[in-house]
Amino acid sequence: MTGDDIALSWVLAARRPEQLARFYGDLLGTTPQPGVAAHHWIVPLQGQGSLQIYTPSRKRPWPSSGSALAPCLQKRAKAEPLLELRHWHQRVIRLGGRSTEEPRLEAFGAECWLEDPEGQRFLLLVLRPEPTDQPTR
């Protein structure tokens, strides 16, 4: 795995992600964009990276205070998001990270929360492959 295809962004849990995205967009002088789902917005950052604002799944606990903002390492899958995430997950563990949950498949791809060697939480996100252009007949 090379670093060329991995992007760093920040993820922020919010009860009203669109409104919060507009707030940060106004503060940063950028235009928020819809993300991979209705409850997900992306605020581009000056230069490189983004702030991704999302509402956590109702099936998962709300992040505790102080844990609602975390780094997100993401890439786009070449084939199977969950399989690629599992390989990436294993590499993080070999490097000294700790798994706080198993990688899981979601509608937008696959994700998994982990902790770095100092116990800071971060998200690994592997988005589904880009749709390929359909050949014309």
Domains of the chain by range and CATH?
Answer: 3-127 (3.10.180.10)
Per-residue pLDDT tens digits for 11-65: 888 888 998 898 889 878 899 999 988 899 999 988 788 999 988 878 877 776 6
Give the residue carrying structure tokens 């390929």.
132
CB atoms within 10 A of CB 54: 20
Structure tokens at 108: 């937008």
Helix/strand/coil for 32: coil
Residues paired with residue 113 on neighbouring β-strands, in sequence order: 123
Cβ partners under 8 Å of residue 51, min gap 6: 9, 10, 12, 21, 24, 28, 42, 43, 45
pTM here is: 0.67
